[in-house]
A and B are shown apart, each in its own frame.
Chain A
Amino acid sequence: MSTTLLTGSEAAAYGAKLAKIEVIAYYPITPAFPAMERVSKFIQDGELKANFVRVESDHSALAATLGASLAGARAFTVTNSQGLLYMTEVCYHTAGLRQPVVMACANRALSAPHSRFPEQGDAVSQGANGWIQLFCENNQEVLDNTIQAFKIAETVKLPVLVNYEGYVQSHTLEEVVIPDQEKVNAFLPLVRFKTLDVENPQGVNTVTSPDFYMDYKFRQNEAMNEAVKVIGEVAETYGQEFGRNWSGLIETYKMDGAEHALVCMGSMVSEARLAVDELRSQGKKVGLVKVRAWRPFPVEALRASLKKVNKVTVFDKNIVYGMGGALGTEVRGALYGQASLNVNSYIVGLGGRKFGLNEIKQVIELSEKTVKQDVISEWFGL
């Protein structure tokens, strides 16, 4: 075990190295690029024995990663924003073919107009593609979640996207504890899940008739439902082994006796914790629910943790045009008919627009002033 200063992208690379990935296929994109740079250095220095596949596009990067996984290798890649969009087709393939691929994603705003700044819109655009999605609040969690992602993926046989915000995390140094390799080996033994076999040739992703397609999709969704339990179990075991339990699908912070709950995911969680601390010290009954797993969506966990509050404020660093923030919409859906409470949701920080501690406190104030009627995805910070 050692402690060092790492950026989020480097933390993802360390996670992949500790998970002993065997194949990485990559196409450069900012701000995820340093993760690939680190992995290639590990390989160059002989610290990691893996095949680095250079490809001509993000689409091919995931396709090569998927191919490696089908051949039984532990495979990993990194991307964000436009790269993730370009991969979309293969994202669906990877999930439908039930491959335990892990991909880190340094969330960045989507074009047009072109932006290189942080936002969660890229991950949200992939909300229906069948990948498990974890959001990390700091760089330590990026490293820990990358290792856990392989465990989850290989247990339920679904790919996992590990999200951390561009720049806010990808290019910010934080103190990160790097666990011992032997301990990670014991936590994550290499289990081969091989589909391609020269001794027993199979057609993969064959044309499937209406007699079977729907049943495959049912099984795939069942795997997602299984992940609801597995994500929590993996976090628990990881916590016991490494001393950091990031909790399962959600984490509640100072929710005891809370009347007003904040709900958000990603790097905003760290700042929301500070806001809660400050307001609590002033005697205000505010708590926080961190959404760690966005897919599968933690419906039951949210219902259980929010049933006693009378107001919920959701921060969405994404916009689903014509509907609002994805998280706000889904939280409202999960809570509908469960209790009489307000779910106020706000669109914040798009394309790198500042959304820090002060802004969080301003939104809380706005939300506190509302009565009865839900605020549905109001834009903050224009």
Chain B
Amino acid sequence: MAKNLPIVPTAKPGSMAETPAGSTWREKRPVLMNCTCLEVTLYCPDGALSIVEGKVSLDLNLCKGCGICANECKDGGIQMVPEYTGAQGVFPVKGEE
């Protein structure tokens, strides 16, 4: 039986985040090490970085791992760490498990 779907293929804004595709194909993810200025939120093409209570906040459900943020931060405040190690699956970042 085919699934019941809307006639026109549509989805509510943000529904991609509910089944995050980006987080399954991401090879690296950013880690906010010493992120003090808020400017970097302007560079993220996927809206994964936002300002929450005056601080930069990262939503990993939206992040595709492009690394633009890490590249733009001239102070090295953001670093990219590997998401996978080969076929073994997710490699948890220390302190974030």
CA distance A191 to B21 in the complex (A): 37
Flag if B9 contacts A206 (CB, 8 Å): yes
Distance (whole angstroms) from the CB of A378 to the closest CB of chain B: 42
Distance (whole angstroms) from the CB of B47 to the closest CB of chain A: 13
* Most chain A beta carbons < 10 A, residue from B5, B9, B11, B16: B9
Flag if A206 contacts B2 (CB, 8 Å): no
Flag if A206 contacts B10 (CB, 8 Å): yes
Residues of B within 8 A of A216 (CB): 5, 9
User: For the complex, is A208 an interface residue (Cβ under 8 Å from B)?
Assistant: yes
Name the interface residues of A56-97: CB closer than 8 Å to any CB of B: 70, 96-97
CA distance A119 to B26 in the complex (A): 49
CA distance A202 to B12 in the complex (A): 5
Name the interface residues of B8-54: CB closer than 8 Å to any CB of A: 8-13, 15-16, 19, 21
Flag if A96 contacts B19 (CB, 8 Å): no
CA distance A215 to B7 in the complex (A): 11
Distance (whole angstroms) from the CB of B5 to the closest CB of chain A: 6
Interface size of A by CB at 8 A reads 23
Flag if B5 contacts A204 (CB, 8 Å): no
User: For the complex, is A281 an interface residue (Cβ under 8 Å from B)?
Assistant: no
Residues of B within 8 A of A219 (CB): 2, 5, 7
Range, interface on chain B: 10 to 19
Flag if B19 contacts A209 (CB, 8 Å): yes
User: For the complex, is A205 an interface residue (Cβ under 8 Å from B)?
Assistant: yes
Name the interface residues of A194-230: CB closer than 8 Å to any CB of B: 195, 201-209, 212, 214-216, 218-219, 222
Q: Name the one of B3, B12, B21 contacting A203, with C-beta atoms under 8 angstroms.
A: B12
Residues of B within 8 A of A222 (CB): 2
B9 to A, closest residue via Cβ: A216
Residues of A within 8 A of B10 (CB): 195, 202-206
Residues of B within 8 A of A214 (CB): 2
Number of A-B contacts (CB under 8 A): 50
Residues of B within 8 A of A201 (CB): 12-13
> A90-114: contact bitstring with B at CB < 8 Å (1 yes, 0 no)?
0000001111000000000000000
A217 to B, closest residue via Cβ: B2
Name the interface residues of B51-71: CB closer than 8 Å to any CB of A: none
Flag if B21 contacts A206 (CB, 8 Å): no
Residues of B within 8 A of A260 (CB): none
* Most chain B beta carbons < 10 A, residue from A201, A203, A209, A218: A203
User: For the complex, is A317 an interface residue (Cβ under 8 Å from B)?
Assistant: no
Flag if B9 contacts A97 (CB, 8 Å): yes
Residues of B within 8 A of A207 (CB): 16, 21
A205 to B, closest residue via Cβ: B9
Flag if B5 contacts A203 (CB, 8 Å): no
User: Given A203-B13, A203-B15, A207-B16, is A212 in contact with B8 using a C-beta cutoff of 8 Å?
Assistant: no
User: For the complex, is A157 an interface residue (Cβ under 8 Å from B)?
Assistant: yes
Name the interface residues of A205-260: CB closer than 8 Å to any CB of B: 205-209, 212, 214-216, 218-219, 222
Flag if B9 contacts A96 (CB, 8 Å): yes
Distance (whole angstroms) from the CB of B60 to the closest CB of chain A: 18
User: Given A209-B19, A215-B2, A219-B2, is A203 in contact with B8 using a C-beta cutoff of 8 Å?
Assistant: no
Residues of A within 8 A of B5 (CB): 212, 215-216, 219
Q: Name the one of A98, A157, A212 contacting B3, with C-beta atoms under 8 angstroms.
A: A212
Residues of A within 8 A of B13 (CB): 201-203
Residues of A within 8 A of B21 (CB): 207, 209
Residues of B within 8 A of A218 (CB): 2
CA distance A70 to B10 in the complex (A): 11
CA distance A201 to B15 in the complex (A): 12
Q: Name the one of A99, A203, A215 contacting B11, with C-beta atoms under 8 angstroms.
A: A203
Mark A residues whose CB is within 8 Å of B: 70, 96-99, 157, 195, 201-209, 212, 214-216, 218-219, 222
By Cβ-Cβ distance, the 3 closest A-B pairs, closest first, are: A218-B2, A202-B10, A215-B3
16 sample A-B contacts, Cβ–Cβ < 8 Å, listed by A number: A97-B8, A98-B7, A99-B8, A201-B12, A202-B11, A203-B10, A204-B8, A206-B9, A206-B10, A207-B16, A207-B21, A208-B9, A215-B3, A215-B5, A218-B2, A219-B7
Additional A-B contact list (5), CB under 8 Å, known A97-B9, A203-B11, A204-B9: A96-B9, A195-B10, A203-B13, A204-B8, A215-B3
